[in-house]
Amino acid sequence: MSDPKPFDPLAGRDPAAPLDEEAQYLFEDAVRRMPKCELHLHHEGAAPPDFIRQLASEKSVNLSGIFDRDGGYAYADFPDFLRVYEAATQVLKTPEDYHRLTLAVLEQSAEHGVIYCESFLSPDFCGGGDVSAWREYLAAIEDAAGIAERAHGITLRGIVTAVRHFGPETAKRSALCAAETAGEFITGFGMGGDETMGHQGDFAYAFDMAREAHLKLTTHAGEFGGPESIREAIRDLRVVRIGHGVRAIEDMALVEEIAARGIVLEVCPGSNVALGLYPDIAAHPIKRLQEAGVNVTVSTDDPPFFHTDMTGEFVQLNKSFGWGIPEFCALGHSAIAAAFCSEPLRARLKKQMETN
């Protein structure tokens, strides 16, 4: 019979005692292997730079100016990050490209123990918001997800995503694509992009359409917008999860409200540090939010852009806050409880978390 809990090389140790090299290695290996659930991952943002370079060379697209000398993505700040993200996305032109992308992304996630992942899929990049084109991209993504599930044991679900700086009318087209394809695979609707543009409420029509199609709702808020952006998301879009949401910490009444309503935060600590929100993980509010009763989960956002992965996120949380395998198990269970998936799948994932 399998062990009901992941192996914990730190069990019984003094948490304040520093780890020697071997203990650190064993710990990181145990963290990498433990089953994980990731709720906040942008499909294009998870594209390895080598993958994008390969497609650019196949299609003779010039992508100079988006890579650094080591071959990683290069950007100066958040607006520049969005520019580089969209430039890289230009080489993803066909359903076949998204098939290949999906295989690459899921293989990479599975290497870090991810057994369930929700990724943000944007009809704007997959067929320009046209429903029948979107269906073709989606079929390719689902086919690749099935292959990855059989090969690596990772399950994918999709959250259709509007891009905020493309405006409310474009968001309505994305919501229509979402509503037309809602089901076992497309389970949610959300919004990313430049949070400093307009108000959450400008997108209420799109979110209402998605809600009427029984999709679960999330939006990026409290990342580059302050607490008011989170209040608007709760009031005007009626989301049940929030992407990031970390700047709620600037308003403790709001923190209390988030905790009381049971709204789940999709926290991406490495992303927040890489994009300059906090100087380092030690300064990140995830622990303070959790201690205030907020239901937090951990994700990577756009892992190659931020030189991170799920193992790296957890290792950094260990270094800054002393969190270990039991805390990471609890975060995994919170993520499964908050997943936008069917109840039979949730029950299966819960079992897998407990028996791997």
The encoded tokens of residue 235 equal: 């009031």
Beta bridge partners of 244: 221
Give the residue with the Cβ less far from Zn ion, 43 or 211.
Answer: 43
Q: Is 214 helix (H, G, I), strand (E, B) or coil?
A: coil
107 given a catalytic annotation: no
Catalytic residue among 118, 223, 266, 313: 223
Give the residue with the Cβ less far from ligand ADE, 9 or 158.
Answer: 158
Q: Nearest distance from residue 225's CB to ligand ADE, in Å?
A: 10
* Rounded distance between C-alpha atoms, residue 225 and residue 31, angstroms: 32
Residue with tokens 């269906």: 135
Q: Which residues contact 14 (CB under 8 A, 6 or more apart)?
A: none
Residues in 299-338 that interact with Zn ion by CB under 5 A: 301
Is there a contact between 118 and 89 (Cβ–Cβ < 8 Å)? no
- Contacting residue, 6, 9, 35, 45, with ligand ADE by CB under 6 A: 45
CB atoms within 10 A of CB 43: 25
User: How many amino acids of this chain bind ligand ADE (CB under 6 A)?
Assistant: 10
Binding mask 251-290 for ligand ADE (x = CB under 6 A): --------------------x-------------------
* Rounded distance between C-alpha atoms, residue 86 and residue 98, angstroms: 15
- Contacting residue, 42, 99, 173, 241, with ligand ADE by CB under 6 A: 42
* Rounded distance between C-alpha atoms, residue 304 and residue 24, angstroms: 23
Q: Nearest distance from residue 80's CB to Zn ion, in Å?
A: 16
- DSSP-derived secondary structure for 136-153: HHHHHHHHHHHHHHHHH-
Give the residue with the Cβ less far from ligand ADE, 249 or 349.
Answer: 249
- Contacting residue, 142, 302, 309, 313, with ligand ADE by CB under 6 A: 302
- Give the interface with Zn ion as residue ranges (CB under 5 A): 301
Q: Active-site residue numbers?
A: 223
- Give the interface with ligand ADE as residue ranges (CB under 6 A): 42, 45, 85, 192-193, 220, 223, 271, 301-302
